[in-house]
Structures are given as structure tokens and as C-alpha cells.
Amino acid sequence: MVDRRNVCKACEGTGMLADDEEWQYTCTVCGGDGHASRERPEHSSLINVDENNRILD
């Protein structure tokens, strides 16, 4: 059974997000894992985006 308290609220556990144009990309909150952790990330990094602010993976 899935523990709903640990499911990433941004991607709803799928590990993928989509923008308005239906471009799919890896969830930046959980890193594509689908599980949210209560711990703070070790480091933050800059995310590469294109001119339309779409994340470049």
C-alpha cells in the first residue's frame, strides 16, 4: 500500500511534470522519484532552461 504522506505533491507520485504545452519533464521537487522527503536537499543547483523557461534535461 502507498503511504500518501510521502507522495510528492508536485507530481502526485508520477515523477513527471508537464507544462502548458504538454512538454513532459522530470519533477524537480522529488527528482523523478515520486516520493517527497522531509529532509532538506544537500545543495541547490541552477537549472538549465531554454528561452521559454522549459527545463533542459
Q: What is the pLDDT of residues 22-57, one digit of tens each?
A: 889 998 888 888 887 765 555 567 778 888 878 776
- DSSP bridge partners of 17: 25
pLDDT tens, position by position, 4-19: 778 988 898 899 998 8
Q: Please give the full DSSP string across 20-35, using - where no structure is assigned.
A: TT--EEE-TTTTTSSB
Q: Burial level of 18, CB count in 10 A (0-12/13-18/19+)?
A: exposed
Residue 47 in domain? no
User: Is 14 a member of any domain?
Assistant: yes
- On whether residue 19 sits in a domain, the answer given is yes
52 in a domain, yes or no?
Answer: no
Total domains in the chain come to 1
Q: Is the pLDDT of residue 20 over 80?
A: yes
Query: Range of 13's domain?
Result: 1-35
Cα gap 34→7, rounded to integer Å: 6
- Neighbouring-strand partners of residue 35: 7
pLDDT at 42: 57
Does any domain span residue 45?
Answer: no
Distance of alpha carbon 52 from alpha carbon 57, whole angstroms: 14
